Structures are given as structure tokens and as C-alpha cells.
Structure 1
Amino acid sequence: MLKRCLHIMSNSFQTKILKVDPLSIHFPPDAHLNGSLPTITDPLSEKNLLEAANVIRGSTDTVAFPTETVYGLGGSSLSDEAVKNIYRAKNRPSDNPLITHVSSIDQLNRKIYQDNHPSSLFEYIPDTYRALITNLWPGPLTIILPVPPQEKSTLSRLTTADQSTFAVRIPSNPIARALIALSDTPIAAPSANASTRPSPTRASHVYHDLQGRIPLILDGGPCKVGVESTVVDGLTKPPMLLRPGGFTYEQIVHLGGPFWQNCKVERRKKVDEGEKVRTPGMKYKHYSPSARVILLLPQEEQTDMDRSNKLRQLISLECEKEGKKSIKVAILTSLHLRSAEIQDLTFADSNIKIVLEKLGNTGEEIQSNLFAALRQVDEIENVDIIFVEGIDESEEGLAVMNRLRKAAGDNCVLF
């Protein structure tokens, strides 16, 4: 077993950024089932995808690539050395398991369960998942499956943190799917950021964190979903939503069939020291900028003016704590705080500078913009403190607030 935390690799790469046009990639309708390869109409995109696929298939190096959720840092799930290189590049604790990404159920059967002719395409997927994956694959849904028996398993146990289950999904982003299909290799891929940092939703975010640590980044533009996949465990009774993400709890219950009607949500803020976790995001610090984050929890009885006044008091108080002659404060707003009112805020201390970012007007917009906004104010604006307006924990709000509570280290204030 690896040490709890691997040191950053000593190798230094000249990290390349290769453009890929997602609109040039076309899969047959049943490709996620039978493993059919895509057609790629743009020669440059095809060339760059094949270069990245050769890295995955022919070496133990890693490749960063876009998914519909966030950018992933991928290496072969079948190679211990490739998985070690993922952990090293991120400086990630090795008892934090990785999600394996496949391009099709056929690839799952052939490459992980070592069965080229299963009696049923779904032989290794429990019936409890059938309705979910029929409705939601390809897409941001990760399921927990049993690891194959050791005598026939090719899956690196380093992806599972040496557990009896592993996490797997079929992404919907055409670049991710094409990379996995062309390499014909299941890819272990956490988010392509330095460990504990906000997840990357643009190639520039990956380059900021991992320049020199990885050989190449496939640039397919911004990620649409903006938070990681939803992770569910249908091996337990009742089933569990282990990590909220790109699909909402309400969608899981609605589309999963009768078995999922009693689905429980994992709500523990911390896990015990030494406890093994079945999915990323349940352990260690996550999603945190360098600047201190304070999460604002709106109260229904408060008016928007009340909230603006409370925010002014909080900013003044936090600036006093910082004890600096001048201070830069970011405010990320969502549904209640209004830009005009914030811009009108006045402070006794004229050395307070406010940077304002609007996250969006809907749960989908807020979710999609969240990590990019955190990185913008932290890495580009270089603020000292970040105030983020929270939202209701329904629909997309469950995933948004999960990430914000971790980013803030549960430093929350009612307002």
C-alpha cells in the first residue's frame, strides 16, 4: 500500500495544451453499450486525441482532459504506476479512491471483468442500477461496483484504496469518451487540480495547478456541469447518495425506480481517522482557494436590505481580524444579494476594496460557474477574503452547498 500522501513527482514536463473540437466527434447511438468507435471530422482534433490516447495506452504518464463535470487527470486504471503518477501530480493522499471512467459497458466487461463474451451485457452490473444507468449514462453519474475476484482482476487496487468495491462511470463529454475509446483503456481520473484546490473547469485552471507535472492537457473549452459527478451506492440497503453532483437527488429518486425511493444522503461532515471511504470527496480538505472563504447562509425572515447591512458588518469585522492596512474582499452573489446594493456599501476604512462576482440566477448557472468564480477571485484578483452567498439545498443546491461548505471549512455565518 502506498504511503498516506505521495510527494510531488520530481519529473518535470513541458506541459502542452492541445485543442480538441468536441463538435467534431460523433458516436453511434449505442456506442456507450457496445463500444463502437467515434468518427472525428476535424483532422487536428483527431491527431491530438490519438496523441493523448497513445500516452494513456502506451505509458504510465497522465493526461488532463475535459469531462462534462470538471477537467480530469487521467491514467490507466489497469496500471499501478499510472495511478501512482496521478497521486503524485496532484500530491493527493493515496487512501482517497479514484473513479474509473469507461467508454462503454462492453469495455467495462472486457477490460475490468476480463470477460469478452458475457451471457448478458449487464452481467456485472446489479439490477438495482439498471434504471439509473439506462436513463443517466453517459453522464455525470458514478456507481459503486464489486471489484472482480483477485485472480482475474486487472484493475489497479490503488484506484480503490485497497477496498472490495470501485467507482465507475461513462462520461458524456465527447472528448472524454473519445479518449477512453481510442485508447481502449479504462481511465482513473480525479479532478485535474492540485489536491485541496477548487476543481478546474477550464484548461487554464489545469495549467495553473499542474504545469510541469503532466505532459499534456486536452483543451475542449469550459465544462458545462461545473461540479463533479453524483456518486451512488446501490450495493447497500437502503441505497446511498455518497456525493451530490451533476445529477440531483431528486433525479436519482425519480429515475431510479422503486429501489431508490428510500435513497439516503451521506451527510457526515467528517469521517473517522483511518476510515476507508468508497468515493472521493468524503475525506480531507477539498475545493479550497488560498484566500479564506466565508459561507453566507440566507435566512428567510431577513430582507435583502437586512442582508446587505449584515454583510457590511461582517466585512468590517473580518477586516479587523486580518489586521492589514489594505484588504481586498471578494463577494460571490447568487439569489438575494444585489450588485447595486453591494456597490453602494460604504466602510469607515477606505482601504477595503470590493471585488464582485455574480454566480448566476438559477441552480444550474450557479453550479456551472462556482469553481471558475472561486479561481477568478483567488488566482487573478488575489483577494484576501471570499464571501459566498449560499443557496437552498434542493435540486442543484445540494451539490453547490456540499462544495461550498468544504471550501469554507464549515466557516458559515447566518445572514
Structure 2
Amino acid sequence: MVKQAVRTVIQCGPKVVRRAAELLAAGELVALPTETVYGLGADATNADAVAKIYAAKGRPSNNPLIVHIADIPSAEKICQNFPAKAYALVERFWPGPLTLVLPRRLQGDGVVCERAVAGGKTVAVRCPGHPMALDIIRAVGRPIAAPSANRSGHTSPTSPAHVASEFDGIVELIVDGGECLVGLESTVLDLSGSTPAILRPGAITGEMLAPILELDPLQLSVNEMSRASHLAGEALKSPGLLWRHYAPKTRAFRYEASQVPAIRTWLPEKANVAIAQLAMLHSSVLPRTRERFNMPTEPMLYAREFYRTLRLADECGCDCLFIELPAAQTGLWAAILDRLGRATEPWSPEAKL
């Protein structure tokens, strides 16, 4: 059973770092800031503590957690081997939004528990690029499992208020590290097989990884076979692979700009429908739009604003959301499109409300 506790939001500073470390060492949950999204942290070596994450989130048991560490030696302790290409990557991108999937160490001091990896043979490991997260991990002295601090399948949190809206009374401490600067979950790169593969796109793009790995970016295309493994109930190698993910509570459609004339014809038939629209600044306003959110045209800004805006749109009381798909598909836009594809359904003239 998840422990009921009074919600606490504390500003950054040495005292909150110490308090967070004490709670984590005692097997409790703490919401932590990272540069990507806020995480729901627990001691990754403590099976009972990790079980609290799954219970609090309502997370499927075959969906593993990303394990956060503060430095390369800590990663070496939980991985069976740390290949040369992994060293080259982390020297360039750690601390930062890159998660590596590697064979996990099964025995030894400080190895992660089976629950943290959903019983799999690999571990997803990351060194976060937020100073408070690093200070807390160092203070605990253990790896910290920390998926996004939201209910499973819901929109990810990028502020302490987002976390509080879902875990008030459940998580005793929410460490306030401000708004997340990246705003999307980390890139997950699988190095456990013969060929590197991106399991989840993020701010560290295939174009950035390919030169270090001496590969063509096309060879790092997102591995759809790995994404589909959950259909057979297999343990996943990485979070973010479930088809329905990051979703608002309100029904959300995605559409291309070329579909606007057809949507204009379709919407007037829905006489009592009010919609919220997320679209680029110069895009057409759809009929029956109660709320319109203008999205940035620059990918870093779009990523930073995406989850925050999705939550705002979700709370405005509309019947459905319409989200315009960005035209670009490479670089960081690929990660944005991945999240959009999992959080929404494609609009079609046959859609029913």
C-alpha cells in the first residue's frame, strides 16, 4: 500500500538536499527535478522502495525504470560492462538527457534490484543534468530509480505544481528545482546488442550520436521491434515504449496543416463541441475553438513548452484537443512527434465524439 503523507514543497537549498537524501535512504519516495522532466525517485537497490514507485504510478510491472547516477564510476558498478563507445558517449553528453541501456551487473555492492529493471537482463542508466538531482544522488550514495513523476500514461510533469497535482498526500517531499529546461524525457540508446539503436528519441538526437558511434544517422532509427515487445508481455528494455503514453485526460487529436479544410467541414456538425487548439502561430484557427495555444516554431522551445501547454489545454474544460503536427521530422522534432503520436490519436473524417 502506498503511504499517505502530507505534501511538502520546499525551495532549493542545502536543507532540502539533506532531507531528500534522508527520505530516500529510508526507503521513501521523493519527487526530484531533472533537466528533462520531474522524476519520482526511490533507492534503486531497495526492492520495497522501488515497489512504491510502481504502486504510486500504477505502472505496469514489465515497464523498467531509468536508474540515475552521479558519475561514471557509479554507472560502472551497476553495469556488467561499460564499452568504449559508452565512455565516448558519456564524456560528451553526461550529465545530460541521454540514457544508455547496458547489460546489468547481477551481483556486487550497490547493484540495482530486479524490480527496477522489471526482471530484465539490462539496465537503463543516466546521469541527470540538474545540479540538485546530482547533489541528492551523491548525498544518498546509491543509484536512484526515477521515472517521470506522474500517474502511468499521463502527461509528464515539468514543474513542482504538476507533481503536486498528481501526488499530493502520497509523496512526502517534492524538491523544487524550477521549471525543466529540456521538457522532454531523455533519449534512450540501447548498447546491449550488436548494433546501437534508439529506443526513445529525445534531445540528444540521432544526428548528434551518429558521429561518435561512427554510424549513419539512418542506422540509429528508432527500433520499432523493441517498442512492440510489450504486446507479448515481455520485460521492456526502456520506459517510453508503450503505445499509449504522455496522454491528457481530454480526448486529443493530432492533425496536419493540410487537413484543416476537412476539419473545418467536420467540426460545424458537432454543434455543442468546444475545442482547445495547439498550433503554430500563423496556423488557421479551427471552428469552435474556445482556447488556442500558440506553440513555438523553434524545436527546443516547443519541447520545453509542450507538456506544460498540454496540461493547460487539458484543464480548460473543452470537449477535445486538436494538436497540429509540426512539418519538420528530423532532429529534436522527431522526439516531439514521438510524444505527440503516443499522447494523441490521428484525426480522420470518420472520428466520433
TM-score (norm 1): 0.78
Query: Which position in structure 1 is the counterpart of 2:14?
Result: 46
Query: Which position in structure 1 is the counterpart of 2:299?
Result: 363
Distance 1:132 1:184, change over 3 A: same
Query: Which position in structure 2 is the counterpart of 1:159?
Result: 116
The code of the aligned residue for 2:20 comes to A
Query: Which position in structure 1 is the counterpart of 2:27?
Result: 60
Question: Of the candidates 379, 384, 388, which is equivalent to residue 319 of structure 2?
Answer: 384
**Secondary structure, in 3 states, of the residue corresponding to 1:290?**
coil
Query: Which position in structure 2 is the counterpart of 1:15?
Result: 7
In the alignment, is the contact (CA less than 8 A) between 2:99 and 2:189 conserved in 1? yes
Distance 1:260 1:55, change over 3 A: farther
Q: What is the rounded CA distance, in whole Å, between the counterparts of 1:287 and 1:316 in structure 2? A: 29
In the alignment, is the contact (CA less than 8 A) between 1:200 and 1:206 conserved in 2? yes
Alignment of 1:291-370 (within 5 A): 291-298=250-257, 302=258, 308-317=260-269, 319=270, 326-334=272-280, 337=283, 341-342=284-285, 352-370=288-306
Query: Which position in structure 2 is the counterpart of 1:148?
Result: 105
**Secondary structure, in 3 states, of the residue corresponding to 1:387?**
strand
Per-residue CA deviation, residues 100-141 of structure 1 (Å, 9 max, x unaligned), is 00011122345x36xxxxxxxxx9311122221111111000
Question: Of the candidates 402, 407, 410, which is equivalent to residue 338 of structure 2?
Answer: 402
- Post-superposition shift, 1:312? 2.2
Q: What is the rounded CA distance, in whole Å, between the counterparts of 2:68 and 2:76 in structure 1? A: 13
Question: Of the candidates 257, 268, 276, which is equivalent to residue 213 of structure 2?
Answer: 257
Query: Which position in structure 2 is the counterpart of 1:283?
Result: 242
Q: What is the rounded CA distance, in whole Å, between the counterparts of 1:291 and 1:175 in structure 2? A: 33
Query: Which position in structure 2 is the counterpart of 1:26?
Result: none
Aligned length: 345
Gaps of 5+ in 2: none
Q: What is the rounded CA distance, in whole Å, between the counterparts of 1:335 and 1:279 in structure 2? A: 35
Distance 1:16 1:151, change over 3 A: closer
Per-residue CA deviation, residues 190-220 of structure 1 (Å, 9 max, x unaligned), is 0000111100011111000111111110111
Q: What is the rounded CA distance, in whole Å, between the counterparts of 1:153 and 1:188 in structure 2? A: 13
Query: Which position in structure 1 is the counterpart of 2:176?
Result: 219
- Post-superposition shift, 1:221? 1.1
In the alignment, is the contact (CA less than 8 A) between 2:206 and 2:221 conserved in 1? no
In the alignment, is the contact (CA less than 8 A) between 1:277 and 1:283 conserved in 2? no
**Secondary structure, in 3 states, of the residue corresponding to 1:265?**
coil
The answer to whether residue 47 in structure 2 is matched with residue 80 in structure 1 is yes
Q: What is the rounded CA distance, in whole Å, between the counterparts of 1:206 and 1:149 in structure 2? A: 33
Per-residue CA deviation, residues 230-256 of structure 1 (Å, 9 max, x unaligned), is 0001222321000001211211113x2
Per-residue CA deviation, residues 28-58 of structure 1 (Å, 9 max, x unaligned), is xxxxxxxxxxxxxxxxx1011110111112x
Q: What is the rounded CA distance, in whole Å, between the counterparts of 1:267 and 1:154 in structure 2? A: 29
Q: What is the rounded CA distance, in whole Å, between the counterparts of 1:313 and 1:225 in structure 2? A: 37
- Post-superposition shift, 1:285? 2.4
- Post-superposition shift, 1:412? 4.0
The code of the aligned residue for 1:327 comes to V
Q: What is the rounded CA distance, in whole Å, between the counterparts of 2:213 and 2:75 in structure 1? A: 23
Query: Which position in structure 2 is the counterpart of 1:116?
Result: none
In the alignment, is the contact (CA less than 8 A) between 1:328 and 1:354 conserved in 2? yes
Distance 1:382 1:270, change over 3 A: farther
Distance 1:151 1:180, change over 3 A: closer
Query: Which position in structure 2 is the counterpart of 1:41?
Result: none
The code of the aligned residue for 1:46 comes to P
Percent identical pairs in the alignment equals 33
Question: Of the candidates 52, 62, 66, which is equivalent to residue 95 of structure 1?
Answer: 62
Q: What is the rounded CA distance, in whole Å, between the counterparts of 1:274 and 1:137 in structure 2? A: 32
The code of the aligned residue for 2:248 comes to P
The code of the aligned residue for 1:316 comes to P
Aligned-residue Cα RMSD (Å) equals: 2.1
In the alignment, is the contact (CA less than 8 A) between 1:238 and 1:264 conserved in 2? no
Pair member with larger Rg = 1
Q: What is the rounded CA distance, in whole Å, between the counterparts of 1:91 and 1:257 in structure 2? A: 37
Q: What is the rounded CA distance, in whole Å, between the counterparts of 2:280 and 2:117 in structure 1? A: 37
Q: What is the rounded CA distance, in whole Å, between the counterparts of 1:178 and 1:314 in structure 2? A: 53
Distance 1:196 1:234, change over 3 A: same
Which stretch of the first structure deviates more once superposed, 209-218 or 152-161? 152-161
Distance 1:231 1:258, change over 3 A: same
In the alignment, is the contact (CA less than 8 A) between 1:295 and 1:413 conserved in 2? no
**Secondary structure, in 3 states, of the residue corresponding to 1:382?**
coil
TM-score (norm 2): 0.91
**Secondary structure, in 3 states, of the residue corresponding to 1:213?**
coil
The answer to whether residue 199 in structure 2 is matched with residue 242 in structure 1 is yes
